[in-house]
Amino acid sequence: MKNRVKGTIMAALVVGMTVSGAAGVYAGANLQKISAYLNHNISFKIDGKTFVPTDAKGNKLAPIVYNDSTYLPVRALSEALKASVDYNSRTGVITIGTPSAPNNGNTGNHTGADLVAVTYSTSQIQAIKKEFAKFDGFTTAYAPMQAVKNDSFQKVAAGGDSVKFTFKHMNVEVSPRDYAFEYDGKNVTLSNGVQAKWYTPSDTAMLTFKLDDRFVTLYSQDHSLSNAQLEKVAVSVAKLK
């Protein structure tokens, strides 16, 4: 089954520029216009379970039929197979399974197929605790303890009613407020049993869940991380010792 699906993924790489929503500098020179069809009559099952491909906003995607071949967006299929997918907009290379970008300074043991432990320096820990200390009754510091391999921690800052962790490919916000409350969305259960909610207030899908007396929100600001990857990172958010 996996070998057959792998073949489909490889065939879909041409269509797979939608993995990040942009084809970058390759759009003008290397894209060829074709005539194809969206086939709404095709349905999918993966390992016996029904699979409905969707985009980052949860909209249903129909497969494309072109020259007797069926194509699916790489991102949707990689999430269904729990495989990481990485798109390098500079080189135009899509990598499935192992990100093509370097580790960007993250250290620590591997904690999953596409996650590594985040090792905060002493000065970074002090900065994180300082930002949380700006809120009365909200001084206990929490932080993501894992990140996707090709991601790296950039900075932390308090603003409004939240503390925001900025990584290269994701943001993690910790707040006493439930930002997701007023939006419709999709409820999911994280691998640790915690209930979370996906919602899209603008053009970026966000994941929010309650952790102790606060709410944690994760999203990929450049749309390079999949929902499955962010859900894995979400499980790692914990008190910072």
Quickly list DSSP for 172-231.
EEEESS-TTTTS--EEEE-TTS-EEEEE-SSSS-EEEEEETTEEEEEE-TTS-S-HHHHH
**pLDDT for position 29:** 55
Name the pLDDT band for 52 (thresholds 50, 70, 90).
confident
Is a pLDDT exceeding 70 seen at residue 17? Answer: no
- Sequence-distant (6+) residues with CB within 8 A of 132 are 138, 139, 140, 141, 142, 158, 163, 174
Q: Contact, 102 vs 90, CB < 8 A?
A: no
Q: Which residues pair with 66 in a beta bridge?
A: 69
**pLDDT for position 194:** 94
- Listed residue (171, 161, 165) closest to 142, CA to CA: 165
Give the number of other Cβ atoms within 10 Å of residue 233's Cβ.
24
128 or 68, higher pLDDT: 128
**pLDDT for position 66:** 85
Token pair 């985009």 in the structure block, residue? 55
Cα–Cα distance measured from residue 183 to residue 200, given in angstroms and rounded to the nearest whole number:
8
**pLDDT for position 31:** 73
Is a pLDDT exceeding 60 seen at residue 113? Answer: no
**pLDDT for position 157:** 95
Cα 105 to chain centroid, rounded: 20
Is a pLDDT exceeding 70 seen at residue 197? Answer: yes
Is a pLDDT exceeding 50 seen at residue 173? Answer: yes
Kindly state the average pLDDT of the residues 101-116: 48
Name the pLDDT band for 11 (thresholds 50, 70, 90).
very low
Is a pLDDT exceeding 60 seen at residue 22? Answer: no
Name the pLDDT band for 124 (thresholds 50, 70, 90).
very high
Name the pLDDT band for 89 (thresholds 50, 70, 90).
low
pTM of the model: 0.56
Kindly state the average pLDDT of the residues 30-35: 79
- Listed residue (121, 103, 51) closest to 80, CA to CA: 51
Kindly state the average pLDDT of the residues 166-194: 93
Cα atoms in the 13 Å half-sphere on the side-chain side of 2: 4
**pLDDT for position 32:** 80
Q: What percent of the chain has pLDDT over 70?
A: 72
Q: Is 158 helix (H, G, I), strand (E, B) or coil?
A: strand
Q: How far is CA 155 from CA 1, 116, 142, 143, 215, in A?
A: 43, 18, 14, 12, 20
Is a pLDDT exceeding 70 seen at residue 4? Answer: no
The chain-wide mean pLDDT, for the chain, equals: 78
Domain annotation for the chain: domains and CATH numbers? 37-97 (no CATH), 115-239 (3.40.1000)
Q: Contact, 169 vs 201, CB < 8 A?
A: no
Is a pLDDT exceeding 80 seen at residue 155? Answer: yes
Q: Which residues pair with 59 in a beta bridge?
A: none
